[in-house]
Copies of this chain bind each other. A is one copy, B any other.
Amino acid sequence: MTTSLLEQLIDALRVLPGVGQKSAQRMAYHLLERQREGGKRLSGALAEAMERIGHCERCRDFSETDVCPTCASSARDAHLLCVVESPADRLAIEQATGFRGLYYVLQGRLSPLDGIGPRELGLDRLAQRLEEGEVQELIVATNPTVEGEATAHYLAQLARARSVHPSRLAHGVPLGGELEYVDRGTLSHAFGSRSEIP
């Protein structure tokens, strides 16, 4: 017998990832009790974002303009192209590194079983772009999963066939980690790829 607007709100909040019935209730009550203005602002931001954010036609990242600010910027180095699986990966690299080149966002990874092939990831357009000759290095930053590695392999071949130098992120022991808790595969790889202390 709760009010139906409240029920609708709780139900609608469950669209958020990791939010079940209990969390949705807590969120709804929190907004109603303490954050009405914040709730209205969120409503507006959601409506605008869902309606107006599309994909950049150069890099496939989310963008509210046809070409995203990064691709449109003349300050970025067009010789370097970093390929990532998702916009979140792009953001992580942009925030953590001083990378000044351009990005290409696959919005997925090769996964034949799910019907995701090169066409779905826009690899035809990526190939075209590599053929234009401006890109000199293709930095492959797919996730270190089985599908991500397969995608990386495919991308490396794509690049080599067009005389573009492919590279990938270094694998090894994470900074700040304890060796004891590093998984075997990573430790074995890091041991094998050890470098001389200068």
Give me the interface of A with B, judged by CB distance under 8 Å.
Answer: 1-6, 8-9, 11-13, 15-18, 23, 25-33, 35-36, 38-53, 62-65, 68-70, 73, 86-88, 91, 94, 107
Contacts and interface: CB of A to CB of B under 8 A. Distances in A.
The secondary-structure label for the interface of chain A is: helix
A32 B53 contact: yes
From A33, A42, A70, residue with most partner B Cβ within 10 Å: A42
Given A32-B53, A39-B50, A69 B15 contact: no
A46 B43 CA distance: 6
B91 A3 contact: no
A46 B5 contact: no
B9 A49 contact: yes
A5 B53 contact: yes
Given A12-B38, A38-B12, A88-B25, A31 B5 contact: no
Nearest to A49: B9
Contacts of A69: 1, 3
Given A9-B45, A32-B87, 9 more contacts: A1-B70, A5-B52, A8-B48, A11-B45, A18-B23, A25-B91, A29-B87, A42-B43, A43-B43
